[in-house]
Amino acid sequence: MSRDLVEHGLTWSWTRTRVARNMADRDTSTLVAAVGRKIVGFAMMHFGDDHAHLNLFAVKPAYQRGGVGAEMLRWLEQSASAAGLSAIHLEVRLNNVSARRFYRGAGFQDVAVLPRYYGGVESALWMARDIRVRTASQST
Ligand SMILES: CC(C)(COP(=O)(O)OP(=O)(O)OC[C@H]1O[C@@H](n2cnc3c(N)ncnc32)[C@H](O)[C@@H]1OP(=O)(O)O)[C@@H](O)C(=O)NCCC(=O)NCCS
């Protein structure tokens, strides 16, 4: 799914070995969404000291626009928030308009364009979402 949905057209960098290594990393959460026993979506997020970094995120085409992505993102946000982190960061391909709309709709904001971020050939948009819980006195 990572190769076909996230890295299509780029050199495959999230190989089985790299994914397996990250799954075994105790600072990384791997999440799958399933319908019955069939995996329809997955995500991989690294928990840093201050913020989490969403490395991989995809929903199978037949299940897109059905709320699976939003549900996975909610789970990841709650998880990062429970870990005391202040934000979630990610990079998305600059030309991936649907994913950018998805993240923007979920409250992510553009941080910067990273030229030639992917293999020196394609640019990324760095996005982030502040997940700090504010008390009533802080929000006034
Ligand atoms: C981006 C992606 C994860 C979204 O997952 P999803 O399950 O389809 O998203 P949801 O159904 O939860 O959508 C939630 C909202 O996001 C927005 N959105 C999602 N896909 C969109 C699209 N293709 N175009 C415009 N808005 C979109 C909509 O506002 C949508 O709400 P709505 O359907 O009520 O209008 C999915 O399209 C995907 O896997 N794409 C290929 C892989 C990819 O680009 N991953 C991100 C790499 S960083």
pLDDT for the residue 137? 66
CA of 105 to the centre of ligand 1 (A): 9
3-state SS assignment for residue 20: helix
Single-letter code of the amino acid located at 35: V
pLDDT for the residue 135? 64
Choice from 46, 102, 103, 126 to test ligand 1 binding pocket (greatest atom count within 8 A of CB): 102
Neighbours of 108 (CB within 10 A): 22
Range of the domain at 6: 2-139
What CATH number is given to the structural domain containing 90?
Answer: 3.40.630.30
Scored b (16 or more CB within 10 A) or e, 130-139 reads ebeeeeeeee
pLDDT for the residue 139? 56
pLDDT for the residue 133? 76
CB-based contact 52:88 (threshold 8 Å): yes
Q: What is the pLDDT along the chain (140 residues), one digit of tens a residue?
A: 999 999 999 999 999 999 999 999 999 999 999 999 999 999 999 999 999 999 999 999 999 999 999 999 999 999 999 999 999 999 999 999 999 999 999 999 999 999 999 989 999 999 999 999 766 666 55
Domain count across the chain: 1
pLDDT for the residue 43? 98
Nearest ligand 1 atom to alpha carbon 68: 7
- 107 is written with which tokens? 């409250």
